[in-house]
Amino acid sequence: MSEPRVLGASREPDGPSPAPDTALGVWLGRICVAVAMLGGVVLVGIVAVSSASVIGRSLPPLFAALGLPSPVKGIPGDVEIVQLGCAVSVFFYLPLCQLKRGNVLVGVFTKNLRPRWRAMFDLAANLLFLVLTATLAVQLGRGTEDKFRDQDTTMVLRIPEGGAYAAALAAVWLLVLVTAYTVLRSALEVARDRAIGPPPAGEH
């Protein structure tokens, strides 16, 4: 008697079930989660600043129409805070996204292949991404040096831009390290004909 199939369940490709992630992958995962959580804190702060500024700019006309003094005001330079914070938070999310295979991919032609063949495609993509991230890290490092050397600041609040660049640079080098690990993980998957660690985001 055959086992009942769950309605809507996709057919898994032939091959063993995914193996647990390696010790290095687990260690990197903990670091990436902590960095991503820090990016979330930054993002929450951006939302708070933006909301307070919008409220502060919207209430004075209302109070003025009622003949009352406004108790709140907009936050000067809120756009600068949002710009710097968004840039930093995005870079903080990238390492975890790469480690968890969360990047957008097209699996129409590969989802039913054996793990080894799928890993070959992943290996090629991760190698290319490693080159791109390393190039980004080098160029961002040069930009960070320029920001500190020229002592560039934002126009309104005079916030030193070098600090935001340095934070983003640290996250990018973590991304390079994580991408190098995903290259190694893909190579192990090819050798073992078995997936390792988390499946692609579309298969969770």
pLDDT given for residue 104 in this prediction: 67
pLDDT band of residue 9 (cuts 50, 70, 90) is very low
pLDDT given for residue 70 in this prediction: 64
pLDDT given for residue 63 in this prediction: 67
On average, the pLDDT of the chain sits at 84
Compute the Cα dihedral for 112, 120, 136, 34 and give only its sign: positive
Q: Structure pTM? A: 0.82
How many contiguous H segments (helices) and E segments (strands) does the chain have?
4, 0
> How far apart (Å, rounded) are the C-alpha atoms in residues 53 and 61?
14
Give the relative orientation of helices 161-192 and 23-65 as an angle to the nearest 10 degrees.
140
pLDDT tens for 176-192 read 999 999 999 999 999 99
> How far apart (Å, rounded) are the C-alpha atoms in residues 134 and 92?
16
> How far apart (Å, rounded) are the C-alpha atoms in residues 40 and 188?
32
> How far apart (Å, rounded) are the C-alpha atoms in residues 118 and 107?
9
189 touches 120 (CB < 8 A): no
pLDDT tens for 136-154 read 999 999 999 999 999 999 8
pLDDT tens for 86-122 read 999 999 999 999 999 887 665 656 677 788 888 898 9
